[in-house]
Amino acid sequence: MSRATLHPVEILARRDITANVMTLGIGGLFRRLPLLKLIACIVLAPLLVGLRPSLAWGQSASAEGALKVSSAGAPSSSASAANAPLTLTFQDALERARKYDPQYLSYVTNERVARQDIVQARSALLPSVSSTNQLLLTQGNGVLPSGRYVTNDGVHVYRVWGVMHQSLGAETLTLDGLKRAQAAAAMARAQEEIALRGLNVTVTKDYYDLVVAERGYATAQQALDQAKHFLSVAQDLERGGEVAHSDVIKFQLQYNQQERALREARLAMETARLNLAVLLFPDFNQNFTVVDDLDQAAPLPAFHEVRQMAENNNPQLRAAVEALRQASKDVSLARFAFLPSLGLEMDYGIEANSLALRSRTSAFPEAGRLPNMGFFLTATISFPVWDWGALRSKLRQANYRRQQAHVELTFAQRQLLSNLAGFYGEAQTAHAETDSLRQAADLAAESLRLNNLRYRAGEATVLDVVDAQNTYTQARNSYAAGLERYRMALATLQTLTGSF
């Protein structure tokens, strides 16, 4: 039998037997050789001590087994924690949408690109420095040291230059190119803000669509339970001869209707969850829950405060202003194209037959070693003479764009006043109706309770009970829809004013 097939108790027994045999054999040897007794004690003492931990092998095995059991239980708890739904607040939904919405991110990219245009426009106003390193090899003719190309002074020419270039024009002095880039960047920032506020409206709708759908599903479940309860009551009363069978039929129809309503409510809730998941998750995750804060909407400020916020913090108006400013700079740049432009370019370095600070020139070797480092300056002035009307056409285009930008700015101002009044009126009306809808839901609940008692007492008909139940369901759904309407009105109003 192998050691692996033995029970731990059998292994301990065999070890004890082996220890006894070893003790007896050593004792007989010690009686014969007293000198070896001391040596054996020194050598075998650590071995005998090392055998003692094996006596607790069973305990260690049990402890290890307990550790394995606890470790085996850990993955299940971690797996359940991993499968737990993610709880999202409205602010969490906004932050997630800003990370994953492609339309908003496109405006963010445009704003970043516009900022780089400012860097490029600023660098265009400053001198540029570059380096030129060339080796010019010319085929020789066997007679002249300059070779076959008269422009060179030798068959080997080394050119190592540092080149500084500066363009001087009217746009360089007035900084209109830089100002145009700054206006474009400001307009891109305003458009990004417009996209962000529009995204907030979208998130508000999808988020509270799911909240309202969950409330509707809960209401449908409650209505189904009530219909089942009334059906059971009517059946009991029918068996007692207190109501007619027609009441049972009416309650059965009501129960079937509430079953269909529950299925529709479940479908609406799943659809709302899908719409929100597309907006918030990159991997289409549907394992999440939302916090129902529909009753905790912000109060509506006074109209004069809202108007002041709209005048100071309206991105549509700011974008229109920056568009007009950009169009005006385009007109200035088109006019500057009719003026002369000056270009300066200075080269400093080596252009010699040897790559050295001093060398002999191949064309004049008798002059000896001459310095190679030096500079030369090129100044270029350009005058527009004839371009078949292209410059005038560009100027007309710029003027047309500026006129259109001015029209759009005045329209944005009028549109702001109109939208501000309309959006504020919508928010004010929705806020006023929430109190009435809440009162209607409370009254409908009380009416349903009273009709239930009256029906049991024989004072109400089945139609009264069914009508009270339907009224209660509609009142609860209307109250949730009214709260969502107020939320949407606030989000739409904040597209003009910013958060408040």
| pLDDT tens readout for residues 135-172 | 878 777 776 676 666 566 777 888 888 888 888 887 78
Which of these, 264, 265, 280, lies nearest to 212 by C-alpha position?
265
Say if residue 300 is in the same domain as residue 248: yes
Q: What is the pLDDT of residues 468-480, one digit of tens each?
A: 999 999 999 999 9
Say if residue 156 is in the same domain as residue 194: no
Write out the DSSP string of 396-444. Answer: HHHHHHHHHHHHHHHHHHHHHHHHHHHHHHHHHHHHHHHHHHHHHHHHH
Number of domains in the chain: 3
Say if residue 106 is in the same domain as residue 201: yes
Percentage of the chain beyond pLDDT 70 is 82
Token pair 């059991």 is at which residue? 69
| Per-residue confidence (pLDDT) for residue 78, from 0 to 100 | 53
Torsion angle, alpha carbons of 261, 262, 263, 269, to 10: 110
Of the candidates 383, 408, 442, which is a domain's last residue?
383
Q: Report the sign of the C-alpha dihedral through residues 218, 224, 230, 233, in that order.
A: negative
User: Does residue 21 form part of some domain?
Assistant: yes
User: Does residue 177 form part of some domain?
Assistant: no
Domain that holds residue 364: 127-168+340-383
Percentage of the chain beyond pLDDT 90 is 56
| pLDDT above 60: residue 345 | yes
Say if residue 232 is in the same domain as residue 108: yes
Residue 82 — pLDDT band, cuts 50, 70, 90? low
Say if residue 373 is in the same domain as residue 423: no
Determine contact, residues 258/223, Cβ cutoff 8 Å.
yes
Give the rounded distance of the alpha carbon of 444 from its chain centre. Answer: 43
pTM above 0.85, yes or no: no
Q: What is the pLDDT of residues 217-265, one digit of tens each?
A: 999 999 999 999 999 999 998 998 888 999 999 999 999 999 999 999 9
Residue type (1 letter), 409: L
Least trusted range by pLDDT, from 85-99, 119-133, 150-164: 150-164
- Across 63-220, the runs of DSSP E, i.e. the strands, are 86-88, 128-137, 156-168
Q: What is the pLDDT of residues 406-450, one digit of tens each?
A: 999 999 999 999 999 999 999 999 999 999 999 999 999 999 999
| pLDDT above 50: residue 364 | yes
Residue 45 — pLDDT band, cuts 50, 70, 90? very low
Distances (CA, A) of 453 to 224, 228, 457, 459: 19, 16, 6, 9
| Per-residue confidence (pLDDT) for residue 476, from 0 to 100 | 96
| pLDDT above 90: residue 27 | no
**Mean pLDDT, residues 381-395:** 90
Q: How far apart are CA 305 and CA 454, in angstroms?
A: 52
Say if residue 350 is in the same domain as residue 454: no
Say if residue 275 is in the same domain as residue 157: no
| Per-residue confidence (pLDDT) for residue 132, from 0 to 100 | 83
Say if residue 345 is in the same domain as residue 377: yes
| Per-residue confidence (pLDDT) for residue 252, from 0 to 100 | 94
Q: How far apart are CA 147 and CA 140, in angstroms?
A: 4
Structure tokens at 228: 């089942």
Structure tokens at 430: 């929705």
| pLDDT above 70: residue 57 | no
User: Does residue 175 form part of some domain?
Assistant: no
User: Does residue 90 form part of some domain?
Assistant: no
Say if residue 227 is in the same domain as residue 303: yes
Of the candidates 368, 383, 398, which is a domain's last residue?
383
Residue type (1 letter), 348: Y
Structure tokens at 395: 């100027």
**Going by DSSP bridges, is the β-strand pair 374-382/341-352 parallel, antiparallel, or unpaired?**
antiparallel
User: Does residue 173 form part of some domain?
Assistant: no
User: Does residue 184 form part of some domain?
Assistant: no
Of the candidates 31, 52, 83, which is a domain's last residue?
83
Q: How far apart are CA 151 and CA 473, in angstroms?
A: 98
Distances (CA, A) of 269 to 50, 206, 289: 69, 11, 12
Say if residue 379 is in the same domain as residue 415: no
Q: How far apart are CA 234 and CA 227, in angstroms?
A: 10
Which of these, 141, 167, 163, lies nearest to 154 by C-alpha position?
141
Distances (CA, A) of 201 to 181, 492, 499: 30, 6, 12
Say if residue 243 is in the same domain as residue 363: no
Taking each helix axis from N to C end, the angle separating 303-312 and 462-497, rounded to the nearest 10 degrees, works out to: 40
DSSP H or E segment with residue 380: strand 374-382
User: Does residue 261 form part of some domain?
Assistant: yes
Structure tokens at 123: 């660098």
**Mean pLDDT, residues 198-212:** 96
| Per-residue confidence (pLDDT) for residue 172, from 0 to 100 | 82
Torsion angle, alpha carbons of 280, 285, 291, 293, to 10: 40
8-state DSSP, 461: -
Across the chain, what does the average pLDDT equal? Answer: 83
CATH number of domain containing 433: 1.20.1600.10
| pLDDT above 50: residue 70 | no
User: Does residue 365 form part of some domain?
Assistant: yes
| Per-residue confidence (pLDDT) for residue 7, from 0 to 100 | 40
Say if residue 14 is in the same domain as residue 134: no
**Mean pLDDT, residues 291-298:** 92
